[in-house]
Amino acid sequence: MSENTPFRPRCHFAPRRGWINDPNGLVFYRDEWHLFYQYYNPEEVDGMQWGHAVSADLLSWTHLPPALAPDEHGQIWSGSAVVDREDASGLFGGRPGLVCLYTYWDKDDGGSQCQGMAYSADGRTFVKWPGNPVIPKLRDLAGHPADKDFRDPKVFRHGPSGSWVMVVAGGKLRVFSSKDLIHWEFESVDEATETECPDLFELPVAGAPGSTAWVLSGGGRWYQTGAFDGKHFTPGSPRIQMCGGPDWYATQTWDSAPDSRRVGISWLFGWGYGAGARAGRIANPFPTGPIAGGCLTIPCELSLESTPDGPRLLQAPVREFNALAGVTRIHGRIALPPGSAYAFEEGLSECLDVAAELTVPPGARVTFTVPVAAGGSVSLGIDNLRKALFIDRTGAASHGVESYGRRYETALAGRAGPDFSLRIVLDRCSLELFADHGRSLMSAFILPADNGARMTAEGDHEGCAVRSMAVRSLRPCINW
């Protein structure tokens, strides 16, 4: 496939070449949103490293040279970054700086893992701490088992304790604390929680003045709300699905975002396709040319709302994303009786942002259908019999990937009645759905046909209808 592959995303982040998976080191520093990510390009380095990009608006990203490359301790796996505002580390001469905490993966020691640190004053040039690792392998920590899985540190400042806190998993969830981001003290282990790519943050609860709750994310697969005292997370809810669909993982949020915003992003791809980094090469069954591993999701604003069952998470595209709207067509009421389909206008755009208000009577389903490039189609929509948001790839060409052609659904949170909102974002290799303003969401890797505006909508019961719909073309914002 040439460099001009039709499947390069226009509105979602991906590297210029090579493999991408987890977002790492998300931090706002010196008026820039920094995005690091798991990156592999055997033409550069035969090992996983941290790719790097920056943005002023969460939309247009400037690609920078990789920030952290493998060294004698191993490959550079997932982690996080923080702004050391008060120079607690003593590395920045009394001025603020960036500190990155990440996992070393040692292939020469059976894949054992430990935690390393690097720092940067300018956000461009990174120096690794000469005493790495700052936290050794578990077998070298007194009182811990010899497990090799010990990865994905998420670090943040915990105001009440005056400490930096690290939650690290890849196995059981462990908590460490530090006063200087260099010397770390073990605090606790949660024997009941095993995950990858943990995140832990506090949010105000809308509708409950003065109330906050902590949110623990298990790699974006699930979340719990609860309390955190600097050493232990105490759940206050069951595990709740954070996103449905086949392709949403490793969710992380930005540290030090302005206006106390909590903005997150996820990997929009998965490990079930037989794709990934291999020694000296990249396995990729999809015809996506010089990029592999899909892309990252739209950055989403995270918030909590009060419900009768306790605080619940909302995730919706950041407000900046609305700036990409190009040609917009507004539709009034469209009846969707059984046996008929409403066809979107052709020629609007190959990348779309569709905001629809739907009537889906109890027991009914409204389905949108998107043709895909290799033949067949992907369907998606609201199923008010199963009270579910769904994506169905069983009718799409599978590109020879056995796990591709399946149907996925996620529960519609707290739903009763026939009225729903649905936002559909379609790019060159991705599909994202947001129901009821981010209460339920899904994403999937798909390769649409040349013109996404060939989408159709249909109902299966009398009374199914689109009450109103805005169909927006999306202007490209990724600079290749």
Average pLDDT over residues 79-96: 98
What is the reported pLDDT for 348? Answer: 65
Burial of residue 375 (CB within 10 Å: 0-12, 13-18, 19+) is: exposed
CB 230 within 8 A of CB 161: yes
Backbone angles phi, psi at 453, to 5 degrees: -75, 0
Q: How confident is the model at residue 1 (pLDDT cuts 50, 70, 90)?
A: very low
As a whole-number percent, the residues of the chain with pLDDT over 90 amount to 90
Q: How confident is the model at residue 282 (pLDDT cuts 50, 70, 90)?
A: very high
What is the reported pLDDT for 256? Answer: 97
Q: Which amino acid is residue 6, in one-letter code?
A: P
Distances (CA, A) of 396 to 194, 244, 339, 340, 376: 34, 19, 21, 21, 4
Average pLDDT over residues 146-159: 97
Burial of residue 77 (CB within 10 Å: 0-12, 13-18, 19+) is: buried
Q: How confident is the model at residue 416 (pLDDT cuts 50, 70, 90)?
A: confident
Pick from 159, 157, 167, 212: which is nearest to 187 by CA? 167
Per-residue tokens: 400: 């020879």
Torsion of CA 226, 228, 229, 234, to 10 degrees: 50
Distances (CA, A) of 198 to 76, 109, 169, 171: 17, 24, 7, 10
Ramachandran quadrant class, 38 (left: phi over 0; alpha: psi -120 to 50; beta: rest): beta
CB 443 within 8 A of CB 243: yes
Pick from 286, 158, 217: which is nearest to 22 by CA? 217
As a whole-number percent, the residues of the chain with pLDDT over 70 amount to 97
CB 430 within 8 A of CB 446: yes
pTM for this predicted structure? 0.96
CB 305 within 8 A of CB 312: yes
Q: What is the mean pLDDT of the chain?
A: 95
**Parts of the chain belonging to CATH 2.115.10.20:** 18-317
CATH class of 320-474: mainly beta
Peptide linkage before 337 cis (omega within 30 of 0): no
Q: How confident is the model at residue 206 (pLDDT cuts 50, 70, 90)?
A: very high
3-class SS at 454?
Answer: helix
More confident residue, 417 or 180: 180
User: So which residues are the catalytic ones?
Assistant: 22
Kindly report the number of other CB atoms within 10 A of residue 85's CB atom.
12
The shares of helix, strand and coil residues in the chain, as percent rounded to the nearest 5, are: 5, 50, 45
What distance separates the 2 farthest-apart alpha carbons in the chain? Answer: 71
Distances (CA, A) of 223 to 141, 235, 248, 404: 29, 10, 14, 26
Q: How far apart are CA 222 and CA 218, in angstroms?
A: 5
Q: Residue 121, Cα to own-chain centre: how many angstroms?
A: 27
What is the reported pLDDT for 2? Answer: 41
Q: How far apart are CA 124 and CA 293, in angstroms?
A: 25
Identify the CATH number of the domain defined by range 18-317: 2.115.10.20
CB 254 within 8 A of CB 24: no
Kindly report the number of other CB atoms within 10 A of residue 54's CB atom.
19
**Parts of the chain belonging to CATH 2.60.120.560:** 320-474
Q: Residue 137, Cα to own-chain centre: how many angstroms?
A: 28
Residue written as tokens 């020879």?
A: 400
Cβ neighbours of residue 441 closer than 8 Å, sequence gap 6 or more: 243, 244, 248, 315, 389, 410, 432, 433, 434, 435
pLDDT at 259 over 50: yes
pLDDT at 480 over 90: no
Per-residue tokens: 439: 């209460």
Q: How far apart are CA 73 and CA 114, in angstroms?
A: 9
